[in-house]
Amino acid sequence: MSKYLKTVDSEWFRQRLIVVMMCVSMAALVLMTRLIYLQIIKGQEYRRMSLNNSIRLQSIDAPRGVIFDRHGNLLVDNRPSFDLYISLKDARPVDETLGRLAMHASLAEEELTERIAGVRGAAYYRPQLLKRDIGRNALAVVASHGYDLPGIDLQIQQLRNYIHSGLAAHLLGYIGEINSKELQQDIYADSRAGDLVGKFGVEKSLEPYLRGERGGRQVEVNANGQVVRVLQTVPARNGYNVYLTIDSRLQQRAEELLQDKAGAVVALDPNSGEVLALASSPAFDQNDFITGLSTEKWRALIENPDRPLNNKAIQGEYPPASTYKILNALAGLQEGVINENDIIFCPGYYRFGNRSYRCWRRGGHGAVDLNRALAESCDVYFYQVGERLGIDRLAWYAKAAGLGSRTGIELDHEGKGLVPTAAWKKKRFGVPWQPGETLSVAIGQGFNLVTPLQMAVFTAAVANGGVRYRPTLVKRVVSGYGEEILVNTPRVAGRLPVSPATLALVQKGLWEVVQGERGTARIARLKGTHISGKTGTAQVVNRETIEESEEGATTRKYLDHAWFVAYAPSENPQLAIAVIIEHGEHGSSAAAPVARELIKTYLEGAPSAPVVAAGAGEPGNG
């Protein structure tokens, strides 16, 4: 043995190779045994199973999570829909079967034929959807004629049900069949053609929570395609339930107040950024999208000049008009270009260069200080503040206030707005900034654009002492077993870069707007509480355009947009609001009363009172 210790020879290798061969033979023996077991011992059974491809997969759909408001009022649930399926392999002759089906259930045969026209290949052996939601009457007929309808299968599917039709339509959104583009995205990796997924609003942005996990079962079927036994089951997991931050009572009130108007309302809790109401008008009925929208209804929606499918609260970008003076005042004070006691004389216009910039009050405000300038919305005062600041300093404060960028709310299609700077104009138009343009921007009337949500967040920051929260719609997400999946906590997006003293001065001015003797929004006063706010009237087009057009200045599309931003109670803000009424003409007359009514509703009502009449909120009430 000892001589082998140093080196190896072929005899050593031969011994090792014999062991290897034994291992290989063992493996071959195992494979052979298995083959005999499968093909000889169990062969007959497997042959029988293969004859009608008897092992099939059936999927178990997971019910989508339901949506509640902040107080647990049900907003969205599911109701059963009875869907007709056909297994073409079992339904032969297909034409005759479809003919009988159409006759029994009073359905259009062409519609059914069309649905299966393109089906071939592997899909031929899987049940194909013929018609969704056939209704209880047709269901009874089809079920009782089952013997006459081979290969026709009824499946119960959960259909989305928006309990208060049209309530919070833009916010809740709707669901629809997944499209081929979505199928390729990673977040839909578990979905397949025909699945219903969120298409708009919270339904879309919270899709990963709301959608459950599909289960399935392996079944053995007989030659007629009927299930003989269930071999294995993987249960589905229900989608998670979502509690929104919305107060449905406030939401409903906001929508009532916007009735027959085009515009938007955003109401926030200024101490957390939670959205209490977010309404856009005109709206639509989400249930129409679930049961299938007729061509006329669809056309009416997309041709309506007031854009009912747009969520104006986040997508609508408007000139901020005089509400921008809040920002201008903050910047001016903080930069020291004005102080609270500086007096500026307003003769009704401000001459700058060779142009005269008008104040909204032709006769002028006379001598105004900061407080009066805000209360009475003196343009001349803020022209001069803007001039002293310059466009880029003003833009810096605007950006710090969250304007010009998305707030990050959990909704798609959010607009960014626009904060103009000298560099921006050079890049966009190739021409330098004109000093006169700063004056327009200073009163919110130049290139600048904001969304109502941005203004609500900014107003909330002014109200709460300077903290800019990221607005949120989601309070918590809870599993079907009550397990907390997500609990949302306030997230600070930034702080207003101003001192407490500066902020206090501006807050005082905003109080004066509503509560002061000569404030522009005295109309918004409420008994028992103090409101602070700022009106705005945004020109839609410049005066030359109106004069050149054939229609008169009173044509609706030329009327100014009305703004009002507010918070209340002034001393201890609980609610921050931004209201815009498109073509509402004056902020004071059109928008301020909306905010007043909303504040009234919010402060009056018991927070947890249910919104709707009993019964309407029961789940499954189809």
Partner 1 sequence: MVDRRYLTYFDWGLLALTFLLATIGLITLYSAVMAGVPTPQEALFTKQLIWYGIGLAAMMICLLFSYKLMERYAWVIYGGSILLLVWAMFFGRTIAGSRRWIVLGPVSLQPSELAKIAVIIILARYYAKYVSGRGFTLRSLQVPVIMTLVPFLLIVRQPDLGTAGLIGLIAASMTLFVKIEKRTLSFIVGSGIAMALPMWFFFLKEYQRQRVLTFINPDRDPLGAGYHIIQSKIAIGSGFLTGKGFLEGTQNALSFLPEQHTDFIFSVLAEEWGFMGAALLIFVFLVFIFWALNIAYSCRDPFGTILAVGITAMIAWQAVINMGMVMGLMPVVGVPLPFISYGGSSLLTTMICVGILLNISMRRFMIE
What's the closest the beta carbon of residue 42 comes to partner 1, in angstroms? 5
5 makes contact with partner 1 (CB under 8 A): yes
377 is known as an active-site residue: no
40 contacts partner 1 (rule: CB under 8 A): yes
Positive or negative torsion for Cα 521, 526, 528, 534: negative
Classify burial at 424, counting beta carbons within 10 Å of its beta carbon; exposed 0-12, middle 13-18, buried 19 or more.
Answer: middle
Can you tell me which of 140, 227, 228, 234 binds partner 1, judged by CB under 8 A?
Answer: 234
If one asks whether residue 46 binds partner 1 (CB under 8 A), the answer comes out as yes
* Contact yes or no for 378/352 (Cβ under 8 A): no
Contact range with partner 1 by CB under 8 A, out of 115-123, 192-200, 311-319, 571-579: 115-123
Counting contacts by CB under 8 A, is residue 606 touching partner 1? no
d(CA 184, CA 191): 10
C-alpha Rg value of the chain to the nearest Å = 34
Residues 378 to 437 in contact with partner 1, rule: CB under 8 A: none
Interface segment toward partner 1; rule CB under 8 A; list 36-44, 371-379, 416-424, 561-569 = 36-44
Residue 57 as a binder of partner 1 (CB under 8 A): the answer is yes
Q: Does 184 bind partner 1 (CB under 8 A)?
A: no
Q: Distance (Å, rounded) from C-alpha 108 to C-alpha 98?
A: 10
Q: Which residues contact 98 (CB under 8 A, 6 or more apart)?
A: 86, 91, 109, 112, 113
**Residue 145 neighbours by CB under 8 Å, 6+ apart:** 100, 104
d(CA 538, CA 130): 52
> Is residue 228 a contact point for partner 1 (CB under 8 A)?
no
Which of 44, 180, 184, 354 is in the footprint of partner 1 by CB under 8 A? 44
Number of residues that bind partner 1 (CB under 8 A): 51
Phi, then psi, of 142 in degrees rounded to 5:
-65, -40
In the complex with partner 1, which residue's Cβ is closer, 27 or 302? 27
Among the candidate windows 41-49, 334-342, 482-490, 582-590, which touches partner 1 by CB under 8 A? 41-49
Asked if 157 interacts with partner 1 (CB under 8 A), we say no
| C-alpha closest to that of 613 among 251, 283, 164, 243 | 164
Task: Rule CB under 8 A: say whether 492 interacts with partner 1.
Answer: no
Q: Which is nearer to partner 1, 233 or 499 (CB)?
A: 233
Closest by CA position to 414, among listed 209, 200, 582: 200
User: At a CB cut-off of 8 Å and minimum separation 6, what does 447 contact?
Assistant: 418, 420, 424, 425, 437, 441
Least distance CB 120 / partner 1 (angstroms): 6
Q: Which of 248, 322, 440, 588 is catalytic?
A: 322
Taking the least distance from each CB to partner 1, the nearer of 214 and 297 is 214
* Contacts to partner 1 from residues 499-558, by CB under 8 A: none
**Distance, CA of 221 to CA of 517 (rounded, Å):** 83
Query: Is 35 among the residues that bind partner 1 (CB under 8 A)?
Result: yes
Measure Cα distances from 380 to 445, 523, 585 in Å: 13, 24, 21
- Compose the 59-88 pattern: x for residues touching partner 1 by CB under 8 A, - for all others: x-----------------------------
**What is the SS3 assignment for 44?**
helix
CB of 330 vs partner 1, minimal distance in Å: 51
The nearest distance, CB 310 to partner 1, in angstroms, is 37
Q: How far apart are CA 513 and CA 533, in angstroms?
A: 6
Among 71, 79, 104, 217, binds partner 1 (CB under 8 A): 217
Q: Does the footprint of partner 1 cover residue 103 (CB under 8 A)?
A: no
Q: Is 485 in the site for partner 1 (CB under 8 A)?
A: no
Question: Per rule CB under 8 A, is residue 36 in the interface with partner 1?
Answer: yes
The CA distance from 419 to 404, in Å, is 5
Of 202, 199, 197, 200, the closest CA to residue 212 belongs to: 197
Which residues are tagged catalytic?
A: 322
> Which residues bind to partner 1, rule: CB under 8 A?
4-8, 10, 12-14, 16-17, 20-21, 24-25, 27-28, 30-32, 34-36, 38-40, 42-47, 49-51, 53, 55, 57, 59, 120-122, 125, 215-218, 231-234
